[in-house]
Amino acid sequence: MDTLQEAKVADETLDPPDWADMQALSHRVVDDAIGYLRDVRERPVWRGMPDEVRAFFSAPLPREPAPIADVYGDVARNVMAYPMGNIHPRFWSWYMGSSNFTGALGDFLAAIQGSNLGGGNHAAGLMDSQVVDWCKEMVGFPASASGTLVSGGSMANIIGLTVARNAKAGVDVRERGVGAIPRPLRFYASDQVHSCHRKAMEALGLGNRALQRVSTDANLRIDVDALRTAIAEDRAAGFKPACIIGTAGTVNTGAIDDLQALAALAAEEDLWFHVDGCIGALIAIAPENRSLVAGIEQAHSIALDPHKWLHAPFEAGCALVRDASAHRNTFAVTPEYLESTPRGLASGQWLHDYGLQTSRGFRALKIWMALREHGVEKFGRLIDQNIAQAGYLTELIRADPVLELTAPTTINIVCFRHRLEGASEERLKAFNTEIMLRLQEEGSAALSDTTVRGRHCLRVAITNHRTRRDDLDLLVRETLRIGKEIEAAV
Ligand SMILES: *Cc1c(COP(=O)(O)O)cnc(C)c1O
């Protein structure tokens, strides 16, 4: 009897031994978080980590408990103090959103509820479907379409391309595999297509060469005539043209393919039309610029990225598929341990039937709360604002004889470089890279770089609801100052 009692007493849990203590600490965490975001402009965009901070991340697996206040202290000192910087108003590297406080609350509450959205009859599952419905509405897809929230744009593209492959294979690929496809499939995209499509082609068993890169015009949009020719040549050579991937906002320069022309060509040739809208699909909600993505609503599938222009905290991507049964037929399986019941917890939708994940996080809440708080129209205006800011920066660069644009600005991405009289491409690259690194190291701005048509350049991608025009003035001023400084040193 005694031992039985002791065994009961010894049951352990992860819940705090004293909820009041946890409550006090949590209030501190929230207060710190508010200050952190409120004052972000006062801090450097980015800074390198000293050795002792790096060493912190080599600490071995903890075996003994530590007070939660100490744990939080470690995180505040070593993690929160050295962010990537994308929440800062002068972060314009690569392509990502700048998060938002409400979204962070959503992530917190999602984790507190802890629901698994693989399926089931519960509120989080319904909200996940509702956010997918809202995404459909934002891009002009019919209510009958389906979709799924995934980790990001790369996974969203994989979902769309997998459905395309299975729909166009001519055999039951799920059962027989890609080896049974009678004529090798061909997918088409512009030479500006994002690298995730290559990974997708490889993972789908079709191989990188099955993705034909079609040349682009002066505005870096896919050359539709060249695409038409490529399709005809492939047919003649025994391939099966299967899918056109249009890009609404290329990662290099923000170019938007002629989606209406691509939709028409896909219909004419009986091909799947997928749109990589990770950058630009949401321009469909921006009143000033929505005509740039006209035709997106005709796609068979779309990948879009709420962690970009909806500023959802990472991660959140969304795949939409017009033909809901084609989508479900690509992924649905019902193992004996996931059977539906007429009532109760297992009577809801099985959301894992629309993608590769079984367990799924409650990504919808952070998106839902921010949309509900601000309304979709404000998100649309913020997209227009970023595009106008990129136009402003473009004008500043045009007006300065020391700077040169290296690609046309279509939306919110500006490619430019500092000139250097008589310098080789190699020298220009080294010079501009040095400017970019000093901007980062001084903490004044974060840009990235790329190479467009063989010319290296700096790249400013303004997906940032905190950027103001004077931040762009500062960027130009600092770029010129650092340029002078480097020139003076040689
Ligand atoms: C960002 C991006 C992707 C990849 O999306 P992730 O969310 O980073 O996985 C794909 N295509 C384009 C055009 C992108 O800009």
Q: pLDDT per residue over 456-486, tens digit each? A: 999 999 999 999 999 999 999 999 999 999 9
Across 206-222, average pLDDT: 98
Instruction: Give CATH for domain 377-489.
Output: 3.90.1150.170
**Is the confidence at residue 178, as pLDDT, over 80?**
yes
pLDDT tens, position by position, 29-62: 999 999 999 999 999 999 999 999 999 999 999 9
Distance (Å, rounded) from C-alpha 168 to C-alpha 270? 9
Strand 413-418 relative to strand 448-452: parallel, antiparallel, unpaired?
unpaired
Does pLDDT of 160 surpass 90?
A: yes
- CA 347/CA 178 separation, integer angstroms: 34
pLDDT at res. 4: 61
CA 426 to chain centroid:
31
Q: Does the pLDDT of residue 230 top 70, yes or no?
A: yes
Atom of ligand 1 nearest to the CA of 247: 13
Res 381 pLDDT > 70: yes
> Would you say domain 20-85 falls under CATH 1.20.1340?
yes
Q: How far is the CA of 102 from the centre of ligand 1 (A)?
A: 23
**pLDDT tier at 235, thresholds 50, 70, 90:** very high
**Is the pLDDT reported for residue 335 higher than 70?**
yes
Give 13's pLDDT tier (boundaries 50, 70, 90).
very high
Q: What pLDDT score was predicted for residue 348?
A: 86
pLDDT at residue 88, rounded to an integer? 98
**pLDDT value at position 354?**
97
User: Average pLDDT for residues 97-124, to the nearest whole number?
Assistant: 97
Helix (H), strand (E) at residue 92: none
- The more confident residue out of 349 and 55 is 55
Is residue 490 very low, low, confident or very high in pLDDT (cuts 50, 70, 90)?
confident
**pTM, full prediction:** 0.97
Burial of 358 (0-12, 13-18, 19+ CB in 10 A): middle
**In this structure, are strands 455-461 and 448-452 parallel, antiparallel, or unpaired?**
antiparallel
**Range 294-298 average pLDDT:** 98
Please tell me the distance between residue 180's alpha carbon and the centre of ligand 1 in angstroms: 31
Assigned fold of 105-375: Aspartate Aminotransferase; domain 2 (3.40.640)
Given the structure tokens 């099966």, which residue do they identify?
A: 240
Q: How far is the CA of 157 from the centre of ligand 1 (A)?
A: 9
> What pLDDT band is residue 104 in, cutting at 50, 70 and 90?
very high
CA distance 471 to 404: 19
Output the ligand 1 site: residues, CB below 6 A.
95, 152-154, 157, 194, 196, 247, 251, 276, 278-279, 305, 317
Q: What percent of the chain has pLDDT over 70?
A: 98
Query: Which atom in ligand 1 lies closest to the alpha carbon of residue 153?
Result: 5
Q: Is the pLDDT of residue 1 over 60?
A: no
Rounded-to-integer distance, Cα 100 and Cα 199, Å = 30
- Domain boundary assignment for the chain: 20-85, 105-375, 377-489
Poorest-confidence range of 4-8, 117-121, 126-130, 239-243? 4-8
**Lowest mean pLDDT across 87-96, 263-272, 331-340, 367-376:** 331-340
User: Distance from the CA of 96 to the center of ligand 1, in angstroms?
Assistant: 9
- Please tell me which residue, 5 or 226, carries the higher pLDDT value: 226
- What residue owns the CA closest to ligand 1's atom 14? 278
Quick one: pLDDT band at residue 433, thresholds 50, 70, 90?
A: very high
Give distance in angstroms: CA of 338 to centre of ligand 1: 32
385 alpha carbon – ligand 1 mean position (Å): 21
DSSP state of 77: I
Element (H, E) at 449: strand 448-452
Residue 129 has pLDDT above 90, yes or no: yes
Does pLDDT of 226 surpass 60? yes
The strand ranges marked E within 248-299 are 272-276
- The answer to whether residue 2 scores a pLDDT higher than 70 is no
Pocket test for ligand 1, best of 222, 283, 305 (most atoms within 8 A of CB): 305
